[in-house]
Amino acid sequence: MSTLFLIGMHEIEKSETIARKEDLFDRIVELQDLDSLMINLYKDRVSPFPNAHNFETGVSLVLYDPSKLQLPVRQLDVLFKRFFPSFNISAIDPTHEENLQPLKSIGRENSICGNRITRINHWMYHHHDDTSDGFTKANFGTNNENTLPTQACQANIYTLLLHLNYSKAQHLQKASVPRLIRNIEFMSFLSEPIEKLSQDKSYYWNILSTWKFCALSLSTQELIWCGFTLIKKLSKDANVLIADNKLLLLLFTLESSYHQVNKFHNFRHAIDVMQATWQLCTYLLPDNPVHTLLLCMAAIGHDVGHPGTNNQLLCNCESEVAESFKNVSILENFHRELFQQLLSDHWPQLLAISKKQFDFISEAILATDMALHSKYEDRITREKPMKQITLISLIIKAADISNVTRPLSISARWAYLITLEFGDCALLESFHKDHRPEQDCFGDSYKNIDTAEEDLDSIQNMLTSVTNADDIIKEHPYIPNGQIFFINTFAEVFFKALSQKFPNLKFLSENVEANKEYWMKHTNKKQK
């Protein structure tokens, strides 16, 4: 869905603009000022699932006269990339005809964004080199790892490389939070959880304080509130305080840095892993509030910007993101850099503490690379006594794959989502048989691509209404095989060894075994 925002335009200006552009957009929103624009962006982003106005499935434009609103278009675009990183949105000064060039390609760009395969392909392999973004190649020095690509895609669509490079540039600028953002009361966007709290003050704390926690049943507003509730408590316990509105800005920016349209690797997964991390810390780090806070923050940021694919797909097509990390723990390094810069921008005190603790958050995020899984399995039994850094890594690793240890009704829904995401990866590989990943997305070969999107209403209904694993399997009979493979390959040995090392975690291994037994009864292929 695409939106044309018309800011502070007179009736004559509006009529002329709308007459020429209305057929290119799904909606046109007229606002008085840029403050109203910011409020609309945040409100739209936390709309109920499935959220049509997430600013990822279409390209949105903001038209305004910068001379009247006293903010250059370039500065507004920088603000978008800083606080709404995953959004396909940019600003245009309509007072000069040549500035309206982006409108000519809006239809093709919307087609690319509206199709999940071309959208993911663009995220992973393309780059939009636009000097109006407020940074240039000069910002990155002469090191090849820090330079923009020589050939860039001209579509105004999010890419991993642009996200990464802008994060590096932002690190050099050390800019303060602009007034447009600083003056917002972020609590005003959380009416849904506030309403529930008015009826039961302990509602969210109760659902956070159990291994039966189900992030899939929560809205975006509720996910943000859960993050706020837990981090606020942990920061108080660790005496690393942050003002409520600053913490909420951090969480809103973090949510906007994840891809809401991903099936599995999105902000829901981040909150789920943070909650699991906290629960494990109550068993394994009961007297270390600083480490608990750092580890939970690493958990909520451990997949920021995730494209919903994997390291192998980035390597196979020689993406520039893969090359920038020398094909080693590509996505984990990508997440680490983005999240640490985000913390530097929003909570520098916490990042400073992290770097004093053997670069705590960085090490924790890198430990989530599944290519290192067997290495950590060995450490559980061989390290005596266990090093602190190993314990930290094991906690976040366990939390990252904790879906298979949740009660079956919850675990089955996560299994459904990861299966859908794996399906997208397979479709992306098939797409590459006919298209070079980095080729011109405005070329003729892209014109006839099927733009049909999956039924998001059906997916959301499965998450919120279907709690019986049998019903999920009826719709998707291939799920059991995938779960058996994952449990046999990664989870069973890992959680059994962890439970033997720490007997108070025995429930994790027991849940894995119970879930495996269920999947075995429903698999259509014998498993050893």
Does the annotation place 400 within a ligand binding site?
yes
Catalytic residues: 265
Amino acid at 443: G
Tokens of 395: 């906690």
d(CA 254, CA 277): 18
User: For the CA atoms of 354, 360, 366, 372, what is the dihedral angle to 10 degrees?
Assistant: 180
d(CA 90, CA 100): 12
Tokens of 498: 């962890």
Tokens of 268: 């829901």
Is 158 in a helix, a strand, or coil?
coil
Tokens of 334: 């990508």
d(CA 36, CA 298): 33
Q: Are 8 and 69 in contact (CB under 8 A)?
A: yes
Residues β-bridged to residue 128: 153
Q: What are the backbone angles phi and psi of residue 90, rounded to the nearest 5°?
A: -150, 165
Tokens of 458: 């059906």
Q: What are the backbone angles phi and psi of residue 359, rounded to the nearest 5°?
A: 50, 60
Q: Are 280 and 291 in contact (CB under 8 A)?
A: no
Q: Determine which helix (DSSP H) or strand (DSSP E) holds 31, and give its type and residue range.
A: strand 27-31
User: For the CA atoms of 487, 260, 469, 272, what is the dihedral angle to 10 degrees?
Assistant: 60
Q: How far apart are the first and last CA of the chain?
A: 47
Does the annotation place 126 within a ligand binding site?
no
Q: Is 329 left (phi over 0), alpha (psi -120 to 50) or beta?
A: left
d(CA 240, CA 377): 33
Does the annotation place 303 within a ligand binding site?
yes
Q: Are 407 and 511 in contact (CB under 8 A)?
A: yes
Amino acid at 377: E
Q: Is 115 left (phi over 0), alpha (psi -120 to 50) or beta?
A: beta
Query: What's the angle, vertex CA 361, arms to CA 355 and CA 364, rounded to 5?
Result: 135
CA-closest candidate to residue 258, choices 301, 297, 215:
301
Annotated binding site: 269, 302-303, 400
Residue ranges at the known binding site for Zn(2+): 269, 302-303, 400
